[in-house]
Amino acid sequence: MTDDIKTLTARLADEPSSLAFLELGEALRRRGQLDAAYKVARGGLSRYPTLADAHDLMGRILGDQGDLAGAFDAWAEALRVDPMRIGALKGIGFLYFKAGDIPAAMEHLSRAADIDPDDPSIHQAIQRIRSPGPDAQRAPDAAPKSQAVEPQAVVVLPAKEPDPPASPALASNGHQAGVLLVDGNGLRLNGSLLSPGNEDVSDRVAAELAGVSKEATRTSRLLKLGTWQAIAVESPEGNLFLVPPTPETLLLTVRDASLPMARLGLLADRAARDAREWLAQHT
């Protein structure tokens, strides 16, 4: 055991609530001690389930172990917590690239480049995708540093869920229900929701959402949790995800209960980005 791993292990033993598990897990991963790294990361996640860094670390470890579906879910959860998490964007972009979904890979890498335009590894990965060469399948700079994933391995990602509409206007025109954008007074701005009986309940749901954002802000302030980012609701009939695209608006995304909450959060994040673009054009 190297000195740095010994030191981090001792620190974590003395302070179980310390964030040293992030450094220790990464150090173990780089040394190829993946089982130990996984246990450290899992322990950290049990104490910090909403820490994007922890989910990002878990994604890298699972990727190295060859559990690419698990890595996808871990990175998706990291993005739900922190939509600007570059490591998760690069990781998911790499997985889509390996699966042959070039547009999805480019989308995630482009988002990463927008966040950190000075990161050369992102631009190198984008260039390799655009101009594939003999070693293009390796995509080393965008990929998790894995010994387990072979360059020519066949990647099976979780079934890709339908993308959120390119803009909320699509949903309001009936092309895809399940995304609803409302203002602080509970007025529907765009999108649509259908009941199980295929009845349009958009306006009624919008009215019920009046004041939710203010209450969430007040509760977060009282509990000293900082600025709230999302509200997730699970039920037997379906899962709901609420995010504030802007301080004055609220976006509700609804999907069947079979869709994991982590992936619903990723869809909601993308829909919120589309909502902000739509609001910029119409306000």
- The pLDDT tens digits of the residues spanning 10-48 come to 888 888 888 999 999 999 999 999 999 999 999 999 999
Rounded mean pLDDT, 148-174: 39
How many other β-carbons are positioned within 10 Å of the β-carbon of residue 188? 19
pLDDT of residue 157: 42
**0.85 surpassed by pTM:** no
Q: Domain range spanning residue 214? A: 168-282
Domain assignment present for residue 215? The answer is: yes
pLDDT of residue 6: 87
Q: How far apart are CA 171 and CA 164, in angstroms?
A: 9
pLDDT of residue 88: 92
Whose tokens are 């229900």? That residue is 177
Domain assignment present for residue 147? The answer is: no
| 194 and 264 part of one domain | yes
Is residue 181 within 8 Å of 165, Cβ to Cβ? no
Domain assignment present for residue 51? The answer is: yes
pLDDT of residue 132: 60
- What percentage of the chain exceeds 90 in pLDDT? 22
Identify the top-confidence range among 41-55, 141-155, 190-204.
41-55
Instruction: For Cα atoms 50, 56, 57, give the angle at the middle one, nearest 5 degrees.
Output: 105
How many other β-carbons are positioned within 10 Å of the β-carbon of residue 228? 18
| 174 and 116 part of one domain | no
Domain of residue 278, CATH code: 3.30.450.30
Domain assignment present for residue 148? The answer is: no
| 126 and 174 part of one domain | no
pLDDT of residue 133: 54
Residue 146 has pLDDT above 70, yes or no: no
Domain assignment present for residue 192? The answer is: yes
| 106 and 184 part of one domain | no
pLDDT of residue 202: 87
Residue 145 has pLDDT above 60, yes or no: no
How many other β-carbons are positioned within 10 Å of the β-carbon of residue 141? 19
pLDDT of residue 269: 81
pLDDT of residue 177: 65
| 131 and 175 part of one domain | no
| 118 and 172 part of one domain | no
Residue finishing a domain among 88, 123, 138: 138
What's the mean per-residue pLDDT of the chain?
79
| 180 and 253 part of one domain | yes
Count up the domains in the chain and report the number.
2
Residue 110 amino acid letter = S
Rounded mean pLDDT, 244-256: 89
pLDDT of residue 137: 45
| 8 and 130 part of one domain | yes
User: What digits encode the pLDDT tens for the residues 57-113?
Assistant: 999 999 999 888 888 989 999 998 888 889 999 999 888 888 878 888 898 999 999
Tell me the DSSP string of 215-240: HHHHHHHHTT--S---EEEEETTEEE
Q: Tell me the three-class secondary structure of 180-208, residue by residue.
A: EEEECCCCEEEEECECCCCCECHHHHHHH
Residues 6+ apart with CB under 8 A from 33: none
Domain assignment present for residue 30? The answer is: yes
| 120 and 176 part of one domain | no
pLDDT of residue 2: 62
Of 47-56, 135-144, 242-251, 273-282, which range is least confident? 135-144
Residue 154 has pLDDT above 50, yes or no: no
| 181 and 54 part of one domain | no
Residue finishing a domain among 116, 138, 160: 138
Domain assignment present for residue 21? The answer is: yes
Domain of residue 40, CATH code: 1.25.40.10
pLDDT of residue 161: 43
Domain assignment present for residue 146? The answer is: no
Residue finishing a domain among 122, 138, 154: 138
